[in-house]
Amino acid sequence: MTAVTTTPPARSPRIKSRALRRFLSHRLALIGLIMVLTLTAACFIGPMLLPYDELYIDLLARFSPPGTGGHIFGTDPLGRDIAARLFHAGQISMAVGFAVMLIATTIGSVVGVVSGYYGGKVAAVLMRVVDAFLSFPSVFLLLALAAFIQPGPVMIALIISATSWMEVARIVEAEVKSLRNQDFVQAAHMLGLSNRWIMFRELLPNAIGPIIVAATLTVARAILLEAYISFLGYGIQPPLPSWGNMLNGAQQYLQSAPWLAIVPGVAITIAVTGFNFIGDGLRDAFDSRSHGQ
Amino acid sequence: MLRYLLSRFGQSLILLLIVSFIGFAVLTLAPGGPLSQFALSPGMTQEQIDKIAAQMGLDRPVVVQYFDWITHLVMGDWGTSYRDGQSVLHVIGSHLFATLLLMGTATTLSVSLGSSIGIFSALRRGSTFDYTMTVLAMVALSIPTFWFGLIAIYLFSLNLGWLPAGNMYTVGDGSVLDYLRHLILPAAVLALVDVAIWSRYMRTSTLNVINQDFIRTAKAKGLPRRRVVMKHIVGNSLVPMITLAGLQLPMVLGGALVTETVFTWPGMGRLFLDSLGYSDYPVVMGLLMASAMLVLVGNLAADLIVALIDPRIRLE
Amino acid sequence: MTDDKKTDFAHPNRRQALMMMGAAGAAGAAGLMGPMAIGRDRAFAANADASGQLVLAFSQEPTVFNPLMPHIEVDEGLYYAVYDPLFDFDPAGEFFPILAAEVPTVANGGISADGLKWHLKLKDGVTWHDGTPFTAEDVKFSLELTVDPEFRSFRSTGYKLMQNITVISDTELSWEMSEPFAPMAAILASTYIVPKHVFDGVADKNETVLNTAPIGTGPFKFKNRMAGDHIEFEANADYHMDGPFLETLIIKYVPDLNVMYTQFKSGDIDVIGLQYITPDHLAEAETLDGKVVKVTGRATFESIGLNMMRPQFADLAVRQALYMAIDKTSIIDALYYGVPTPTETYMPQQSYYYNQSLPKHEFNIEAANALLDEAGWAKGADGIRAKDGVRLAFSNSTTAGNHLREQAQQFIQQTFAMIGVEMEIKNFPPAVMWGDYWMNSEFDSVMVGLNTLAGADPDTSDYFMSTMSPARGGSGQNTFAYQNPKVDELLTKGAANFVPEERKAIYEEMQAVMREDLPFLPLFQYAVIKGWKDDVTGPAPNVNNRIDTWNVRDWART
C-alpha cells in the first residue's frame, strides 16, 4: 500500500472523473452505449419471453416469413424460430467478443509493458514478434488456423485473440516508454520497489485510458471476425447458433427467404457500430489533445 | 541512410523467416492433409495414400520439409501446386489480374471519393456534413463486408435484375461493358469500407495542414480561398496519404477475400480459400509469403516516403 | 432376356454378337454403341459440321489434367473431353468400345475362360491431338504407369494383378492376371489412356506437359485455361468416333450453386453440371422456358455410417432402434424436396444387381423405444440410455459446410433424443474430415455419401470386406470397420465369378445380410437435378459414370 501513497495520488481519479464527464457528454458514445445495452438485454432476456426453443426443429414450419405463426423474425430452413436463435447467437457472439477482449488485452498489455519498461534487447525481440504477427494478414491467419481445429466458441475466441493482441501491445509499449522516465517511476525506483510492482501497479494503471479504448474496439473487431470466419464455414458449427453461422447458409436462400440474411446481419451491424461508437467516445474522453483541437 | 536500409532489410528477412516457419508448421502439423480429398475416390486405399504421401515427401519430419521448401524458395522455386501440378508462381500469377482489376477499381473509387469527403469535412469542421460523414464512416466500418455484398445482390441482382450476381464476365461476351457490369457491385461493396477509412485519414491530414503556418501566411497574403484550398491544402494533405497507400498495399491480397467469395470473383482471395480447402500447402504458403512481403515492403516504403518528404524525420 | 440385359463375359449378348460379326468393321461397332449415335455411323470421318459453342458449368474446378494421377470427380469431366478409355459403360451398364476395337469377353476370346489371360485389340488409325499415332505401346505404358513406384498413381487396385503386358502389334496387346478378378473390366472402363511419347526423356513422370496442356485422343482438344474461371476446348476434327458436333466446348467453374443456377436461368450457361440445380430450386426450374430439367439417379447412397468398433454399436438392437428413429420421409421430402429416393442398400436401384425385396424402413419412435427397453438399455437420470456402463451417446461427423447434410444431421439429432440417445454433432472441414479421421475410423459415426462400386461392377470388397479396414490393420476403405464372415465369403465368391446371373444371386444375398446387420443406416440414393437448354442434344443420364461428360462426343446444338 505504500506504493499508492508514493504516486501522485490525484493523478488517476482526476483523469477518470474528467474522462467520464467527457464520455457522457459525447453524443455518439451514448448512442453506442444504448445500442449495446439494448442488444445485450435483448439477448439475455429475449429467450425467456419467447415461446420457442432455439434448437427445436419443426419441419412443418420451415421458411415461415417474419411475423407468421408467432415467429417475429420468421423461421429457418429447419423451422427453428429465428428470434430465439438470434438471441442465443448474440450471447455466443458477444461472449466470444468479450473473451477475445480479455485475452488479447491481457497478452497485449503484458507484452507492451514489459518491452516498454525494459527497452533494449527485450523490446527488440518482443516487438519483432509483434511485427511478425502483424505481417500475417489477419483473415489468412484466422482461416489457416481455424481450418485445422475443432471449431467451438472457445477455440474461435483463442484464434481471434491470437490475431488481435498486437495493437494493444504497441499502444501500451509506446505509452509505457513515455512514462518510464517520469518522476513517480523514479520515485518508486528509489523506494526499492520490484520491477514487477512498478510495471503492473505503477505504469499499467497510467496507461489504462488507451488500453480501454483499444479493448472496446477489439470487441467490435472480434464480433466482426467471428462473423467472417463463421460465414466462410470455418467458425462456430451448427446446431450452436452464432451471428456468423446464421448467415452461413443464408446466401442460398437469398431469393426465397431473404430474412435469413437480413436479421443476423442487422444484429451484427448494431453490435459492432455500438462498440465502435463507444470506443470513439472513450478515445475523445481520454485524449485531451483531440478534444482540445 | 544506407545503413538504415540494410538493417531494415535484415530485420525484414528475419521476420519473413519467422512468418514462414509459423505458417508452415501450422499447415503441416494440422490433421488431414492434401491427400484426404481422394479418400472417397473409388479404389483408393490407405496403402495407396501412404505411397503417394511418401512420393511427395509428406511423410518426412516437418523441419526437414520446411528446410527443403525454404531452400527452394530462396533459389526462386516456390514449389508446385498439389492441386494442378503447376508452379506456385504461375498459379498465383494467373489469379493476379482478377484481383488487381477489382482492387484497382475499388481503390480508385475509394481514394477519390474518400479524399473529397475528407477534405470537405475538414474545411467545414463541425458542420452537419462533417458530423453526418463521421457517423456514416463509423457505421460503414461496422457492417460486415460480405453481408453488405449479400444485401447488394439481393437488391440489385435478384430483385431489380440490374446487375449480375457474380463472376467477372459472361463467357462468350467479355466486352469492356460486360466486365464493367460485373465489376460494379463487388467494387462498390469493397469501396464502401475504404471510402470510410480514406475519408477519416484525409480529414485528419487536412486538419493538420490547415493549422500550419504557411496556410495562414497564404491566407494573410490575400490569396483567393479557392486557390489556397486547391493548391496548398489539398496538395499538402495528400502527401501523408501516400503512406496510407503503402500500408494498404497488402490489402491487395487479403482485402478482397470475402468479397471475392460472395461474388464468385476468380481472384487470389478465392484461390486462397480453394487452396486451403484442398490443403494445397505450396499455394497457401506462396500466398502467405507474397502477402507478408507486401506488408513489409509497404511498411518500408511508407517509412521511406515519410522521411523523404519530411526532412525533420531522420532514419536511424 | 438377361443375356440381352448385361454385358456378359461367358455368354455373348446381342450387341457383342453384332460386334463379333462386324469384327472387321470395328469402327462401325463404335458408331452403333453410342446410345445417341444410332444411325450416325460415320466413324473415322473428319467431322465437318462441328458447330456452335456450349458452356458447361461445374461448381468445382477441374485442375488435375493427368487422368492417372489422384483426382476428384470433377476432373473426370475434362477427361471425357480430352482422353478416351479403352471402352466404357453405357446407361444400361453394358460396355461399348472406344479405343478398343471390341470389348474383350470370354466369348470373343478376349478373356480366357478362367479369367487369367486377356487379349485386347485396338482401333487402327487413331492419332493423338499432336498428330502422333496412337498404338498398343501407349496402352501398355498407361497400364504400367499406374503401378510405377515413381509415379503418383490414382490407384493400383486391379492393375497390380496384371503381369507380362505384351505388345503384339500396334493394335494388339495381351496380359495375364495373377488371379481372376471380375471387376478388372470395370476398372479399365475408367482408365484413360495417356500418350507415352510425352513421357520420353522426362526426368519426373509426375511433371509432364499433361499437367498443363493435356494431349489425348478424345473428341476435344484442350485450348486454354483461365485458372479459377474456365477451360476452353476445340473440336478434334480427326476424332476416331462419331462427333464431336460442337466447335467449342467451355467448362466453366462457378463456385456458388446459386450463382450457377441464376446463370443457367439467364442463359449464360447452356448445361448445368456437377452439383447441379439445388433441390430448393427444382419447382421453379421445371417451369423455366426453353430449358430441359431432369431428375436423374446417381450411384451414390447417403447413410449414417457406424464405427463398428465402438461399444455403443455392438448391439444389433441399438442399430435397429437407431434406424427406426430416423424420419427418412421427412428428411427426403422436406429437406431434400423429394428429389432423392429412399434406399435400403448401397446398390443403386438402376443396377442389375439391386435387390428389390429388402425389408422397408419404418419410422417408429415407440417401437424403437420398446426395442431398446427390451434389450436392457435403461434411461439414466439424464434421460440417456445406458447398459453395462456404456452410455448411448456418440458423435456424428460430416463435412462442415454441406448445408443440406448439416440440416438432416440436426433433425436426426432431435429424433434420436426422443429415444434416449445423445448424438453430438462434430463436423470438420473436408481436409480434416476425410483424412485419418475417416480412413483410420477415428469417428463414432459419420454422415456420408458413398459410391462403393467401380462403374457397373457389383464388387464392393474394398468397403465391406473385414480385411479392408485400416483401423483393424488392413488396407482398403472399410472405414466402418465392418466384420461379417458371411459377407467376406460372398464378396470373395463374387469377385472370382464371371457369370452375371450367378453374381446377381451372390450380391442380392449380401445386400439382405447387410440390411439385417445395419453397419450403416441407409438413408437414400442420391438423385440430382440436371438442366440444359432445349436446343442442346446429347446429355444423357448414366448411373455407371461419375460425371456428365461421359458422352460429350455426342453433344450438339440444333
Q: Please, are residues C54 and C246 in contact by the beta-carbon 8 Å criterion? A: yes
Domain ranges of chain A: 25-49+78-287
Residue C161: is its pLDDT beyond 90?
yes
CATH of the domain at C247: 3.40.190.10
Contacts with A135 from chain B: Cβ below 8 Å? 15-16, 19, 292, 295-296
Residue A20: is its pLDDT beyond 80?
no
Please give the Cα distance from C491 to C358 (Å, whole number).
Answer: 19
- With 0-12 / 13-18 / 19 or more C-beta atoms within 10 angstroms meaning exposed / middle / buried, residue C333 is middle
Please give the Cα distance from C426 to C403 (Å, whole number).
Answer: 14
Q: Which of B:152-191 have CB within 8 Å of C? A: 157-158, 165-168, 170-172
Q: Please, are residues C324 and C364 in contact by the beta-carbon 8 Å criterion? A: yes
Residues C187 and C77 in one domain: no
Quick one: pLDDT at residue C5?
A: 36
Residue C89: is its pLDDT beyond 70?
yes
Quick one: pLDDT at residue C280?
A: 86
Contacts with C407 from chain A: Cβ below 8 Å? 77-78
Residues C488 and C515 in one domain: yes
Q: Kindly list the distances between the CA atom of residue C446 and the CA atoms of A107, A213, C302, C400, C519, in Å, as whole numbers in the listed order.
A: 39, 46, 10, 12, 12
- What is the chain B residue with the closest CA to A271? B142
* DSSP state at residue A202: I
Residues C156 and C141 in one domain: yes
Residue B4: is its pLDDT beyond 90?
no
Indicate the pTM of the whole model. Answer: 0.82
Cβ pair A233:C335 closer than 8 A = no
At which of C178, C210, C242 does a domain end? C210
In a domain, C470, yes or no: yes
- With 0-12 / 13-18 / 19 or more C-beta atoms within 10 angstroms meaning exposed / middle / buried, residue B34 is buried
Least confident of A39-43, B291-295, C521-525: B291-295
Domain at A25-49+78-287, CATH from 3.50.50.60, 3.10.20.30, 1.10.3720.10, 1.10.287.130: 1.10.3720.10
In a domain, C119, yes or no: yes
Select the residue from C439, C450, C459 to test the B interface by mutation, using most B Cβ atoms within 10 A: C439
Residues C406 and C473 in one domain: yes
| B56 SS3 class | coil
| C87 SS3 class | strand
Q: Which part of chain B is CATH 1.10.3720? A: 95-265
Quick one: pLDDT at residue C374?
A: 95
Q: Number of folded domains in chain C?
A: 3
Residue A290: is its pLDDT beyond 60?
no
Cβ pair B261:A273 closer than 8 A = no
**Is B44 at the interface with chain C, CB within 8 A?**
yes
Residues C282 and C308 in one domain: no
pLDDT in tens, C284-319: 999 999 999 999 998 899 999 999 999 999 999 999
Quick one: pLDDT at residue C75?
A: 93
Residue B22: is its pLDDT beyond 80?
yes
Cβ pair C259:B98 closer than 8 A = no
At which of C157, C180, C210 does a domain end? C210
- Residues contacting residue C430 through CB under 8 Å, at least 6 positions apart: B32, B36, B37, B277, C399, C400
Q: What is the mean pLDDT of chain A?
A: 83
**Is C407 at the interface with chain A, CB within 8 A?**
yes
- Residues contacting residue B117 through CB under 8 Å, at least 6 positions apart: B133, B195, B199, B202, B203
Residue located via cell numbers 455368354: C11
Could you list the residue range(s) of the whole structural domain that residue C65 is in? 49-83+218-290+534-557
Residue B197's CB: how many other CB atoms inside 10 A? 18
Least confident of A17-21, A236-240, C4-8, C306-310: C4-8
Which ranges constitute the DSSP H helices of C39-172?
73-82, 136-145
Residues C102 and C196 in one domain: yes
At which of C165, C185, C210 does a domain end? C210
Residues C241 and C311 in one domain: no
Residues C523 and C548 in one domain: no
Q: Kindly list the distances between the CA atom of residue A251 and the CA atoms of A247, B37, B262, in Å, as whole numbers in the listed order.
A: 7, 25, 8
Please give the Cα distance from B14 to B23 (Å, whole number).
Answer: 14
- With 0-12 / 13-18 / 19 or more C-beta atoms within 10 angstroms meaning exposed / middle / buried, residue B225 is exposed
Residues C487 and C376 in one domain: yes
Average pLDDT for residues A19-23, to the nearest whole number? 73
Q: What is the mean pLDDT of chain C?
A: 87
Quick one: pLDDT at residue C43?
A: 40
Q: Which of C:243-262 have CB within 8 Å of A? A: 256-258
pLDDT in tens, B50-93: 888 888 888 888 899 999 999 999 898 998 888 877 889 988 88
Residues C326 and C467 in one domain: yes
Contacts with C335 from chain A: Cβ below 8 Å? 59, 77-78
The ipTM (two decimal places) reads: 0.80
Helical axes B88-123 vs B281-309, angle rounded to 10°: 40
Average pLDDT for residues C521-526, to the nearest whole number? 96
List residues bridging with C294 in a β-sheet. Answer: C530
Local confidence band at A233 (pLDDT 50, 70, 90 cut-offs): confident
CA-wise closest residue to A63 among C418, C326, C283: C283
Quick one: pLDDT at residue A147?
A: 67
pLDDT in tens, B91-118: 888 888 888 889 888 888 888 898 889 8
Residue A18: is its pLDDT beyond 50?
yes
Average pLDDT for residues C494-515, to the nearest whole number? 92
Helical axes A208-231 vs A153-162, angle rounded to 10°: 120
Top-confidence residue, C468 or C511: C511
Average pLDDT for residues A194-200, to the nearest whole number? 85
In a domain, C26, yes or no: no
C-alpha cell at C431: 481436409
Strands C172-177 and C162-169: antiparallel
Q: Please, are residues C346 and C300 in contact by the beta-carbon 8 Å criterion? A: no
**Topology (CATH level 3) of domain B95-265:** MetI-like fold (1.10.3720)
Quick one: pLDDT at residue C37?
A: 38
Helical axes A166-179 vs A82-118, angle rounded to 10°: 40
Quick one: pLDDT at residue A13?
A: 52
Give the closest of B38, B85, B172 to C53, CB-based. B172
Local confidence band at A148 (pLDDT 50, 70, 90 cut-offs): low
pLDDT in tens, C274-284: 889 988 889 99
Distance from CA of B272 to the nearest CA of A (A): 8
Average pLDDT for residues C205-227, to the nearest whole number? 92
Q: Kindly list the distances between the CA atom of residue C448 and the CA atoms of A198, C156, C274, in Å, as whole numbers in the listed order.
A: 59, 24, 18
**Is B94 at the interface with chain C, CB within 8 A?**
yes
Residues C74 and C108 in one domain: no
Question: Percent of chain B, pLDDT > 70?
Answer: 91
Quick one: pLDDT at residue B247?
A: 66
